């Protein structure tokens, strides 16, 4: 069994508008996921260094998948993948997306308890037109991979409708019924999504709600407990 979480951490800026990365790590500690897919993991200005210091990741037993696209960053355009001690990295790849503003996605092939798993993390555009183009680009990249693996896609899709890019991802992947995760204090928007391919059994899934999660970011984390067939 593998526990996967996805979390838009808002550059670790808490409800009091101060950067508090320790709160993000405490929320991740509440969840205890084997793999964490992050959005907005880099600071917004300057050299765009990681919003989560390396020592905090290590103290909580996490390692960032090394995309090495920008010095001081743990991902690509704010998208990052953290793994726990029972997960190994087999291969990783940044994905370039069509966009008018800086956007990207990340792919990681992992060895997890029970098998091998491909994860894709993303944070899509505010524009519906560009979201669909980005979704199709990600799906094309998956088709172009040198080998197939059971795949979980997750992230902040910025999709308020029931169609759009959800329809694109849903053509060959099953959407998970996670519930609303935005805004963290009074969640009404189902912006944070997960999809899985064949080869993955979803045992349970949902939104992580706690007093700390309601103030650590403007999104709540979503999670899924899965098994590789």
Bridge partner list, 89: 110
pLDDT per position as a tens digit, 123-160:
999 988 999 999 999 999 999 999 999 999 999 999 99
Tell me, rounded to whole angstroms, the distance of Cα 204 from its chain centroid: 18
How confident is the model at residue 73, as a pLDDT? 85
106 vs 96: CA distance, rounded Å: 9
pLDDT per position as a tens digit, 41-76:
987 555 568 999 999 999 999 999 999 767 778 999
pLDDT band at 115 (very low <50, low <70, confident <90, very high): very high
CA–CA–CA angle 73, 64, 206 (5° rounding): 110
pLDDT per position as a tens digit, 173-196:
999 999 999 999 999 999 999 999
How confident is the model at residue 16, as a pLDDT? 87
Mean pLDDT score of the chain? 94
pLDDT per position as a tens digit, 193-219:
999 999 999 999 999 999 999 999 999
Over range 90-117, report the average pLDDT.
Answer: 93
225 pLDDT exceeds 70?
yes
| Domain limits, the chain | 2-228
How confident is the model at residue 45, as a pLDDT? 52
- The reply to whether the predicted model has a pTM over 0.85 is yes
89 vs 209: CA distance, rounded Å: 29
Strands across the sheet containing 80-83: 63-64, 80-83, 35-39, 2-8, 222-228, 200-207
Tell me, rounded to whole angstroms, the distance of Cα 89 from its chain centroid: 16
Within 10 angstroms of residue 68's Cβ, the number of other Cβ atoms is 11
Bridge partner list, 151: 118
Any idea which fold 2-228 has? Deoxyribonuclease I; Chain A (3.60.10)
Residues 6+ apart with CB under 8 A from 115: 150, 228
Least confident of 11-25, 34-48, 78-92: 34-48
């Amino acid at each position: 069994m593998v526990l996967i979480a996805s979390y838009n951490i808002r550059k670790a800026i808490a409800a009091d508008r101060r950067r508090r990365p320790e709160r993000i790590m405490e929320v991740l500690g509440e969840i205890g996921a084997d793999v964490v897919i992050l959005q907005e993991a880099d600071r917004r200005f300057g050299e765009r260094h990681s919003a989560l210091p390396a020592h905090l990741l290590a103290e909580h037993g996490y390692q960032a998948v090394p995309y090495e696209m920008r010095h001081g960053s743990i991902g690509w355009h704010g998208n990052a993948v953290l793994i726990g001690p029972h997960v190994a990295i087999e291969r990783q790849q940044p994905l370039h997306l069509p966009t008018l503003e800086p956007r990207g996605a990340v792919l990681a092939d992992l060895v997890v308890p029970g098998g091998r798993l491909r994860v894709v993390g993303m944070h899509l555009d505010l524009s519906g037109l560009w979201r669909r183009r980005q979704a199709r680009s990600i799906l094309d990249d998956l088709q172009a991979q040198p080998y197939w693996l059971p795949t979980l896609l997750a992230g902040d899709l910025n999709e308020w409708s029931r169609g759009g890019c959800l329809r694109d991802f849903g053509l060959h992947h099953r959407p998970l019924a996670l519930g609303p995760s935005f805004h963290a204090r009074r969640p009404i928007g189902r912006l944070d999504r997960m999809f899985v391919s064949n080869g993955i059994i979803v045992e349970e899934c949902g939104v992580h709600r706690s007093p700390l999660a309601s103030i650590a970011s403007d999104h709540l984390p979503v999670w899924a407990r899965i098994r590789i067939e």
